[in-house]
Chains A and B, each alone.
Chain A
Amino acid sequence: MVNPIAQWVDFGHFGIRSLTIIGMGIHWGILQYVLGLPFAAFIAQLIYLKKKDKHYLKIARTLIKATAIVFAVGAATGTLVEFGLIVVWPRVLTAVGQWLYFSMYSEVFAFIMEVLIIYLLYWAWNKIGDVPRTILTFFAFIGPWYSGAMILAVNAYMQIPTGLLPDYNATSGQWLYSLGYPKILLDVPKQYVSLLNITTLQSLGMTIKDPTTNGVLVYMPSKIINRLTYEALNGYTVNQSILKAVLKTSYQHNPAILSTPVLAIVNGIMTATVRHWGYMTILFESPDYASTFLHSIGAGLVVSGFTMMAGYGLRYIKAKDPDYKKYLEKGFKFSTIFSLILIAYEGFIAGDQQARVIFRYQPEKFAAVEGTLKGFNSVSKMLHLEKMEAYLAYLNPKAHLPQYSQIPRLWGQLGPYGVGVNNYRPPLLVDWTYFAMVISGFAIGIFAIIVTLYIIARKTDLLTKGGHKVWIYLTIPAVILAHFASFMGWATTEIGRLPWVVYGVMTINTAASINMPPLWVDVVGNIFFFLIAGGVMYMAYRFLWKPSKIERVEV
């Protein structure tokens, strides 16, 4: 009997993984508001410009104030995550810096834009006119979206490296490991091609695509790339490497070649590959990029929408001042419709697209999500969703679900040349996380529909009376569910990729620092993260909720 949680923990490095999960989780929890609140503020300002209704200006002002508070803490946790990645996963950052740096460059400017615009709006709200303020608010959400677009480009590459050929044929239901899949397109420079025994490499699954001006484009099996990455980042020379076995006989005793660091060769190949795709564009050509970006922004908007709904709703049922109550009613209606539109978008468009891409290119993750293993009671089986899931994933009624039980335990390993990973099957925990996300999303979607019906029927005031109030109180669990759905979606994406940090390229063993922090550092670090999360919630209460009791409409 499989224990999905134990299976997840067993991949090792759990101390630093927990630091990363909790650190990034809290950062993500906070910054979703930075993605969503200024966008909502922009819409509110557009409505204000059209209707000249001061209540909408007040809504926008409140949302920008909230953005300024959460942005400060979000930037702090972002710095923490950045530095944390450097010290606990330095090899990932090294690889990103060496070959995939461009989006990080660009993100710096996004960050500068965010800081300047958000604080300019906050402090200069009354110093600028309506139109300039609306334009600034536009940039206040473009900044975080631009920032997200750049960071998510790296994450998309980690999910699906550009040039990946997947290892599953859905029509035949066959895994393609025996043919060397998954494979990744690499540009091997001429000076290396002339050293290598191509026949041996082809017997290992390498296929030649096209010659280029400076080398050859090949589809290289990921198990070879995995091993080479490990060797490169652990100081191997060619003499100690698997490369020695694929050298032409005439070079097998050449001391200059044998003493060459594998890192130099990997760098040469990766640099040529990056140049082939374009150093500015390689990340954006990952098949996962567009869907990851749209889905992540959507998650931020949904979480922000439901939180606004709760904030306005809970104040609405208690407010006394008629004008202030009117303002709160408008805020509540605005955020309810905002939430409904976005949860529908997130579930039926962005989420659907994201799942389809991931399941096509990471079939192991799909197999784990569906729990296609005999003896494992997956949610999909319990709800009899297998056929529908297969159809939705491949848009083919004859498609087969990938079978988890048929995944070889060491599919990512090149024969006896391991990288310290003894299981390449992703944890079945993602079966739970995936369906937790779907069910939570549906629940808050239905909730948003019900509340919207009150608004359409012009019965919003009913929500302040008697048993109808329950719908307002339910906004609190709705916020929690919105966050929960977002976290579960993220967990599915990240946990389902294990043991890979970069799918098909680098495992967690290769990526981790050689000097692990002691357990107490992991514990203190995690407590610190939770304190920050608690602190930001308290500040939101203290600086947004409490002042709202004064019931003042002017901005």
Chain B
Amino acid sequence: MVLSSLFWLSFNFGIHIVLVNIVLGLSIIVPLLKYIGSKKKDKDMLDLSRKLMRWIAITYAIGGVFGTAFTVFLFSYYPLFIFSAGDLTVNIFGIAIFFIILNFFSITAYWYGWDHWSERTHNIIGILLAGSAIMIPFGFRGIFAFLNEPTGLEFANGHPYINEVLAYSNPTFWPLFFKTIDGALITAMLAAIAGFGVAYLRNKENRIYFQKSLQYFLFPSFIGLLIMIPLGFWYLESLANIPYKFNSIMEGLGWTIGNADPVLNMSWLFVLSLIFTTIQILSILFILYKGTKGELVTKGTATSSLLAGIFAAGTVEAMEQLNAFSQFPRFIAALGSQQISRLPAPWNKVLLTGLNLESYNHLAAALYAQIFTSIMMGIMIVVLIVFIYIIFFKHKK
């Protein structure tokens, strides 16, 4: 039944991470568009930013609940991990928590306050919105980097703690953080183009929004994808200190380090994410090519935009799942059972169970709980589809 724990964690994380990437990217883009639109008195830009703000509110709400679901599944299946992680990551987690709330609050204030606040106040809240969105991964990627390699883990008086300054010198942190910001911007921009592309395909009156979204986002997203290439290599290079994870990603391509022998060979997912990235680049190049021919807004470019958006989300999904599964069954990639057993007692015993994905809580995997969870999740997904249909596609009575 270990599959059930991995399935639910992966399922909830998978939905959550794609949506929060879109929110993060849009949280930077929307206030910027609104600001520039106001300065230039560009009504189309203002309309577009307002429409995208609505997307943030909806995406955030859905992404947020799946994030909560992930946390609940995590502490139900792996309570001993929470036991250790809670004790250790209080301050790094604190950074993420603080900015999640600030971001949530800024979204609410920015959304409900549109046309209510003064221009200046609204822009200041916009800065808060973008800044808090950037700082959330600063906290979470700190934890992810720690889960790669426990830089900063120290023991005092027999108790483990994290030296936060050292934790942020983790070689995997900065490439992961910059990749996140770049990836979120790309995904948000391509999702926006795809969304307006679909709107254009359904109703030609939406032509202006599709056109504007292409004008504003297409080239920047292409640049973002180009920047992602060195960032990706930087992150891969930083994993060279963690042969277990590195080999899981690269061994299928014939590149291994040391003698670490990971349980899962995840190279196929790495290759898949590269294919997805290539499709995005080709889709963008196709639209750019059509643009040079004066056919920027056509059925073909709209379809191509949709492809780019879908594969941008798919790339995020593939990359994040790759990052998670390439260290299976370790919660901390650099800590196998041998390394853990060398830690001071009694923590070596606690962490031996707490940091192993195969040591799941059997009560949480009980049959009826699984049936209940599956049925309820099925219902919720149906409701979610109805929700999206009514909000985006149903017309007013």
Contact = CB atoms under 8 A, between A and B. Distances in A.
A18 to B, nearest CB: 15
Contacts of B107: 72
Nearest to B117: A542
17 contacts: A72-B104, A72-B107, A76-B100, A79-B97, A90-B85, A90-B86, A91-B86, A97-B78, A116-B61, A117-B383, A127-B390, A128-B390, A235-B347, A235-B350, A521-B94, A532-B105, A539-B108
A165 B63 CA distance: 44
B396 interface: yes
B109 A539 contact: yes
Contacts of A261: 346, 349-350
B80 interface: yes
A528 B105 CA distance: 11
A127 B390 CA distance: 8
A346 B355 CA distance: 47
Interface of B: 57-58, 61-62, 64-65, 67-69, 71-73, 75-80, 82-83, 85-91, 93-94, 96-98, 100-101, 104-105, 107-109, 112-113, 116, 159, 161, 345-347, 349-350, 361-364, 366, 368-369, 372-373, 376-377, 379-380, 383-384, 386-387, 390-391, 394-397
- Shortest 4 CB-CB contacts between residues of A and residues of B: A90-B86, A235-B346, A97-B79, A76-B104
B69 A112 contact: yes
A116 B75 contact: no
Interface stretch (A248-256, A297-305, A405-413, A511-519): A511-519
A124 B363 contact: no
Given A73-B108, A79-B64, A101 B363 contact: yes
Interface string A59-96: 00000000001001101110110111011111101111
Given A116-B383, A119-B58, A72 B108 contact: yes
Contacts of A84: 97
A34 interface: no
A153 B104 CA distance: 27
A14 interface: no
B369 A94 contact: no
A105 to B, nearest CB: 6
Nearest to A544: B112
A124 B69 contact: no
B122 to A, nearest CB: 12
Contacts of B116: 542-543, 546
B101 A513 contact: no
Nearest to B347: A235
Interface in A233-287: 233-237, 261, 263, 271, 274-275, 279-280
Given A105-B372, A127-B395, A83 B90 contact: no
Contacts of B159: 514-515
A109 B349 CA distance: 35
B362 to A, nearest CB: 8
Interface in A532-555: 532, 535, 539, 542-543, 546
B344 to A, nearest CB: 10
A198 interface: no
A73 B64 CA distance: 12
Contact of B72 (A80, A89, A105, A235): A105
Interface string A149-171: 00000000000000000000000
A69 B369 contact: no
B397 A128 contact: yes
Nearest to A91: B83
A236 B88 CA distance: 19
B76 to A, nearest CB: 4
Contacts of B396: 126-127
A98 B58 contact: no
A536 to B, nearest CB: 9
A11 interface: no
Given A86-B93, A515-B159, A237 B346 contact: yes
Contact of A86 (B61, B86, B346, B395): B86
A99 B396 CA distance: 48
B85 to A, nearest CB: 7
A517 B391 CA distance: 43
Residue picked from B58, B87, B383, most chain A C-beta under 10 Å: B87
Interface in A104-157: 104-109, 111-113, 115-117, 119-120, 123-124, 126-129
Contact of B361 (A101, A235, A515, A528): A101
A112 B68 CA distance: 9
Contacts of A521: 91, 94
B350 A75 contact: no
B366 A279 contact: yes
A442 interface: no
A515 B112 contact: no
Contacts of B80: 94, 98
Nearest to A278: B368
